[in-house]
Amino acid sequence: MTHAIQIHAHGGPDVMRWEDVPVPDPGPGEARIRQRAIGVNFIDVYQRTGLYPLSLPAVLGNEAAGVVEAVGPGVTVVAVGDRVAYAGLVGAYAEERTVPAGRLVKLPDGIGDDVAAAIMLKGMTAEYLLRRTYRVSPGETIVFHAAAGGVGQIACRWAKALGATVIGTVGSDAKVEVARQHGCDHVVVTGPDLAARVRELTGGVGADVVYDAVGKDTWEASLDCLRPRGMLVSFGNASGPVPAFQPFVLMMKGSLFLTRPSLAHYVAKRDELAASASAVFDAIRSGAVRVDIRHRYALADAARAHADLEARRTTGPIVLTV
């Protein structure tokens, strides 16, 4: 048995329970890991609330780092004693767990457990957004919503290193300087004049691409920020799902492109996962990406971490310590 944060119903942070759960021995193709640090992400909130429903009861969490304690038959990608990390495997809010070994990546020297736990999901999200969903090129202008958040801090610095002009948006004046420190050339506080400010900053042209994980509250503005034939990458719903719309709107606003990607589809194959994680680690070690962990909570206090995240009291990565 091990301790874990488990839910028996969807709802607010109050449904999260610190409970004993079983840890099975690793079977064929599996590994058991002792976790050292666990990342907190908005997808955890979506799954807790039921926006992305889970089969209940369920242990929350999607990324962590730790040490391999045992492997099952046929496992060759990791060995006992390896430092490893993963993202996208529900059930991370636990002291120990058994997972498919093929979804683990080895941690290189210089990447600590807390950094790995904070960066795997957010970093690989930034990697696929900037390098594959829309490949950002030098001289282009991007808009990145929630620039002071966990993904935003990583993506904005990375986009700046790629040679883009970065316009970041934030939810309050208190977060403007955080966004500036993480690669934003311009920072706009989200409000009714958001699209007009982006137009002003781009000389009336509009941005090449808008990356939007906010959802409902920024949907219209995101479309209006784009140049003709620009792309809106809608990859989250922090403020709620975007409203229904007619594809005709995309033509009327400039023959725009729209995509709704998911990390799972960009790291579905083992080689894609390894390449994405390697790119993230390289970006950290080169200095293109800096990981500032400002918020740490004990695993048992995960409900408080969720409450702070939803209330916008956090900036950047959140890590649960084990």
Grade residue 311 by pLDDT with cuts at 50, 70 and 90.
Answer: confident
Higher-scoring residue by pLDDT: 166, 314: 166
Has residue 111 got a pLDDT over 80? yes
% of the chain at pLDDT higher than 70: 100
Least confident of 178-182, 195-199, 291-295: 291-295
Residue 274 pLDDT level (bands cut at 50, 70, 90): very high
pLDDT score recorded for residue 316: 76
Distance, in Å, from the CA atom of 269 to the CA atom of 120, rounded to the nearest integer, reads 16
Of the candidates 146, 122, 143, which has an alpha carbon nearest to the alpha carbon of residue 134?
Answer: 143
Q: How far is CA 293 from the centre of its chain?
A: 14
So what's the architecture of 2-120+264-321 in CATH? Alpha-Beta Complex (3.90)
Indicate the Cα dihedral angle 182, 225, 227, 316, nearest 10°. Answer: 20
Question: pLDDT tens-digit profile of 62-101?
Answer: 999 999 999 999 999 999 999 999 999 999 999 999 999 9
- pLDDT score for 314: 84
Tokens linked to 11: 């709802």
HSE-CB at 311 with a 13 A cutoff on CA atoms is 9
For residues 15-36, average pLDDT: 97
Q: Which residues contact 255 (CB under 8 A, 6 or more apart)?
A: 228, 229
Dig out the tokens for 6 from the structure. 């488990």
Looking at the structure, give the CATH architecture of the domain made up of residues 138-260.
Answer: 3-Layer(aba) Sandwich (3.40)
According to CATH, where is 3.40.50.720 located in the chain? 138-260
**What is the average pLDDT across 150-156?**
92
- pTM, to two decimals: 0.87
Could you give the maximum distance between any two Cα atoms of the chain, in Å? 61
**Nearest C-alpha neighbor of 291 from the set 164, 113, 137:** 113
Q: Residue 71: beta bridge partners? A: 31
Contacts of 312 (CB under 8 A, 6+ apart): 171, 172
| DSSP annotation of 237 | -
Span 286-298, mean pLDDT?
Answer: 90
CA distance 236 to 240: 9
Positive or negative torsion for Cα 213, 216, 217, 218: positive
Q: How far apart are CA 242 and CA 210, in angstroms?
A: 15
Beta carbons of 96 and 34 less than 8 angstroms apart: yes
Check residue 42 and give its pLDDT.
87
- pLDDT (0 to 100) of residue 317: 85
Per-residue pLDDT tens digits for 159-175: 999 999 999 999 889 89
